[in-house]
Structure 1
């Protein structure tokens, strides 16, 4: 079972969130995870086509996706969208911003719409809102994992523990559902 995480990170914070998502995927027996940073250049289109699920991640800049993740999305038109190569794959998303709100919902909605245009099946969170910095889903998001990162801090200290736990939970949830759909 192949799970790919495609993300962009401007300052390392969303990369840390992507690592937490991957950690969650790895908790599921039989799950193979590949983390793909769009900033690294070449996109492994064959790997994405072979994936059972693709989880998208982006920082929220000015209320929306990063330019690099948006460019990746636009580049899928030729190699993927025209033939609906991602039809019926699971999809999910995560984002971080420097503010508790930061208009992160718009970023996740943009990812969900992109997935819908590819015929993908969106997986949200099945968590009630938690309270406190260590709680799962402390942002009360059902569409995807949200995180707040402290601006000006090192990525290792900028992320709130509950947000990283929520990202890990999302990765595990997607991998478990992919396994169920594959009959495993």
Structure 2
């Protein structure tokens, strides 16, 4: 059984719901999902630090990165984490791990691809193996389930209307299903990349 870490920041809760859906997909595939939420309390004078989180990331077989898209890029809190993770880069601790990414914004575009590109470039600098999405948008298959309704393949995207009244965060059912399937895909990639992790004992 492999461990797939999902490290993310969520301001309003939407990205958190996507992370939970990815974790559900990972668990459906029979692997362990480790949800690691970046918080403001981990940042002191602009620097992110949490040795326990870094240790869990270093031990994981795959890392899925997630951030809402703010002003065309990752959230500042998530960028602080990425900068601090350069310690893993120096030691090549994430080299050859499976990597993937996801994002959310309140508008259909929101320049979310900029966030996914940043996440993929960061993974490349760490020497990780990037996994994209493969589900065809449901509208091209005559379906109405909303799978990959935003047509993203570098990673997955979610979109929800901005809450102006403080109501709890929600995500579209299609985005939730897309995230669950993405979790299953990442788990399948780990199984192919690290077959010893899923070998059945004799």
TM range, smaller chain: over 0.9
Does the 8 Å contact 1:134/1:160 carry over to 2? no
Identify the residue that residue 36 of structure 1 maps to in structure 2. Answer: 36
Residue of structure 1 aligned with 2:177, choices 155, 165, 179: 165
Identify the residue that residue 136 of structure 1 maps to in structure 2. Answer: 147
Give ranges in structure 1 of 5+ residues lacking alignment. none
User: Where do residues 85-124 of structure 1 align in structure 2 (5 Å cutoff)?
Assistant: 85-124=93-132
For the pair shown, which has the larger CA radius of gyration, 1 or 2? 2
Tell me the CA shift for residue 126 of structure 1.
1.1
Moved over 4 A (4+): none
Identify the residue that residue 3 of structure 1 maps to in structure 2. Answer: 4
Identify the residue that residue 156 of structure 2 maps to in structure 1. Answer: 145
Tell me the CA shift for residue 36 of structure 1.
0.3
Q: Find the residue that maps to 1:37 and give its secondary structure.
A: strand
Alpha-carbon displacement from aligned partner over 1:34-84 (angstroms, at most 9, x marks no partner): 100111633522211111100011000111100011110000112x01011
Identify the residue that residue 14 of structure 2 maps to in structure 1. Answer: 13
In structure 2, distance between residues paired with 1:155 and 1:169? 24
In structure 2, distance between residues paired with 1:60 and 1:133? 26
CA distance 1:141–1:167, shift in 2 (3 Å): same
Provide TM-score, normalisation by structure 2: 0.85
Tell me the CA shift for residue 182 of structure 1.
1.8
Does the 8 Å contact 1:95/1:146 carry over to 2? yes
Name the Cα RMSD after superposition. 1.5
In structure 2, distance between residues paired with 1:169 and 1:105? 20
Identify the residue that residue 63 of structure 1 maps to in structure 2. Answer: 72
Matched length: 181
Provide TM-score, normalisation by structure 1: 0.93
Alpha-carbon displacement from aligned partner over 1:120-155 (angstroms, at most 9, x marks no partner): 010001111222773211111110110001111734
